[in-house]
Structure 1
Amino acid sequence: MLGGPESSMAMNPLEDVAGKDACSWRQRALAHIAELQSQLDGLDGDSPLARGAQRHLNAAREAAAGKPTLAGAWSGFAVDRTWANIHQAEVALLRLMPDEELPWWGSDVLARAMQHLGKQDPRRAKLQEHLRHQDGKLTPQDRTLAVITLQAANISAQQEKVRLRSFRNTLLVSTAVMAAIAVIVGVVGFVHPAAMKLCFHDPATGPACPIGNAPSKWDVPVVELVGLTAASLVGAIGLRHIYGTSAPYTLPIVLSLLKLPAGAVSAVVGLLLIQGRFIPGLNNLDNSAQIIGWAAVFGAAQQIITRLVDEQGQNVLRSVRDSSRGAEKETS
């Protein structure tokens, strides 16, 4: 058993988050840390390598059991610190593992390499070839190769999460900017109805506005609300193409949020385009129902643009590999 102050922390790390709103990734990380701790406790705790592994586990436990913050969620500090230290502890355990227990690490290291390293990666290819001739068992002679391969796979796994977080943050900023634009447009339309009129005039039927037959301060807000509602319905239908993820970032939710302000803005812009005769074949709308109907159409039409963002989001999600997503990675 390991001794000293570094191992005096709570041996049941799940207790560290009792009473806290811990995310599922934190619970998975803490459970993995507990498993690594039990393996480390069965090894020689006096070697410098074992003491270093213990420090990494303590740092990972501290990061995973810490209180979630908005700044941490944005920067991914807790996620990166947790898994970077877990990965370093895994590498240290592989170095420390007795020769008689080493063979069973072969499949685990190879699976990690197949998840995160391309087929043409020389480390993965060489390890795979060696294990094929050794009935899948790792030998002491291949320990260094396994360590190098595991380190490379772990770095690739961390980079996958970084790319996912970066894309998520970009979407959040875009959603916030689009929401601010929608609010500004709504406020301008409310305060100065004459500055952004969404009314039409048909010589046969007379003027028509979103609300009644005269410009109103509620015209623009109502049109935005209709566009937002239509966008939410289209977004709900599109959820059938969205897959969940075990990654510590709620990318599918952020993808759905982007559609709402986009629908509100596109409804107003679409009616302005009709008013300016930029859409061939559309004449003046002659009643409020038609105006509201076209606002709904343009609100739903935001899917044409956000669909491309959805596809990119799914590509980013598919690049984040874990044991539940299969072991083969096609990229080189």
Structure 2
Amino acid sequence: MAAKRKSLYSEWREFGGWELREGVLCRASELEALLEERVDRHPDNQRVQVLAQRAFSELHEARQAVSHSAHPWFKTGSHLTVAQIHLDTAHNLFLRLSEPDEVIPMMPGLRAFVQAKLPPSDPRRIKVEIIDKAAAKTGNLESADLESILDAVGVARQAGIGEAVQIRSFVNITGWVTFILVVAAVVVALLGVVQEDAVPLCFTPTQGLGHREHDVVCPIRMSGPVPKKDINNALAKTTSPGDYLVVEIVGLVAAGIAAATSLRKIRGTSTPYNVPVVLAALKLPTGALTAVLGLLLMRGGFVPGLSALDSSAQIIAWSIIFGYSQQLFTRLVDDQARALAGEVDAAHAAPSSPPTSPQAGPAAPQAADSG
């Protein structure tokens, strides 16, 4: 029973997508069957036996990278990327075990994969496109051309790994920034509780003839009118330990609404890294802090004509606006995330060829960041 609970717990801790993990395992099984067929075809060929043995070893490493038994307590998207690296190596060895005429049916998938990962000006991509057109016309593929194809595919795989590492680095950096902002928001709220009258989030609109009297308006309480000379004492009595906390909560809720609204632009991700989640998490503490900072700017007269709010309701309303306005800052982060995920940057798209799946053939490679 304990073993079963441990297994269930390890599955719950599978941070990488379950579908991507199963895709790695199924792809490994497919390559293993193809390699066994190659070995059985050439039982006396030492080169085939050596390369196949190495490929089997790489497939084993790929399975271990996503295995619950090998990593029972903590698995992240990095495990899926590592598994894909081993899977790509096994596939490359499989291609080296193939005869040139056996690679011709795989060319559409190989070409599409190279086009997806290498820029149009890359000489290796150009070479593969030329070889593919020539092979389609003649039905033949030279050994030297096969080496050029394998070199281009290897470089394309490295580019895919680099993209996966970039996305992982982006997620990690965004996560740390979110954690720091959360700590900052908590510290600000605690300082507001301990020293509620040090930097009050209160406004003092004028009242009466000659503007000799002022109301004191704070996020929670109001008082007045009081003479100008007694404003400091009135502020000390009107402020509440919960002023900063209330403003931050309102800003956080507004930021949460902004995060929910931004979901309409998110298509999800095929990578094992939860980019949309960290982007949504970043908005929450940012909204809490922008609500506080916005009110402080208004209290300091930074916004002409809005330096003296008349009621607690107005303060809360402006907290909502400032909390939602965090979208102006985090929008740049959203754009960067979409560019890294390939939703914006189309620099590597083939200009004259329709997009083709890299799995067009039975042994076509997969991108390193797609699991």
TM-score (normalised: structure 1): 0.86
Change (3 A) 1:269 1:69: farther
Task: Give the root-mean-square deviation of aligned CA atoms.
Answer: 2.5
| Residue number in structure 1 paired with 2:28 | 33
Distance in 1 between residues matched to 2:72 and 2:328, nearest whole Å? 36
* Equivalent residue letter for 2:124: R
Residue deviations 1:171-200, cap 9 Å, x none? 101111111100100111112211231111
Give percent identity, aligned residues only.
34
| 4+ aligned runs moved over 6 Å, structure 1 | 16-19
**124-133 vs 98-107, greater mean Cα deviation:** 98-107
Change (3 A) 1:114 1:228: same
3-state SS of 2:11 partner: coil
3-state SS of 1:230 partner: helix
Change (3 A) 1:19 1:159: closer
Change (3 A) 1:293 1:68: farther
Contact 1:275 1:284 in 2 (8 A): yes
Distance in 2 between residues matched to 1:222 and 1:177, nearest whole Å? 20
Contact 1:109 1:149 in 2 (8 A): no
Distance in 2 between residues matched to 1:298 and 1:19, nearest whole Å? 41
Change (3 A) 1:170 1:19: closer
3-state SS of 1:44 partner: helix
Does residue 292 of structure 2 align to residue 283 of structure 1? no
Distance in 2 between residues matched to 1:263 and 1:312, nearest whole Å? 19
* Equivalent residue letter for 2:255: A
Residue deviations 1:305-326, cap 9 Å, x none? 111111111111116999xx94
Contact 1:59 1:82 in 2 (8 A): yes
Does residue 288 of structure 2 align to residue 270 of structure 1? no
* Equivalent residue letter for 2:53: R
Residue deviations 1:287-330, cap 9 Å, x none? 100010011111011111111111111111116999xx9459xx
Pick from 316, 320, 336: which aligns with 1:312? 336
| Residue number in structure 2 paired with 1:57 | 59
Alpha-carbon shift at residue 99 of structure 1 (Å): 4.5
Instruction: Summarize the alignment of residues 176-215 of structure 1 with structure 2, pairs less than 5 Å apart.
Output: 176-204=179-207, 206-213=215-222, 214-215=238-239
| Residue number in structure 2 paired with 1:104 | 105
Change (3 A) 1:29 1:18: farther
* Equivalent residue letter for 1:41: E
Contact 1:114 1:327 in 2 (8 A): no
Contact 1:102 1:140 in 2 (8 A): no
Distance in 1 between residues matched to 2:195 and 2:355, nearest whole Å? 57
Q: How many residues are matched?
A: 308
- Highest Rg: 1 or 2? 2
**230-239 vs 132-141, greater mean Cα deviation:** 132-141
Which structure's relative contact order is higher, taking Cα pairs within 8 Å and 6+ residues apart?
Answer: 2
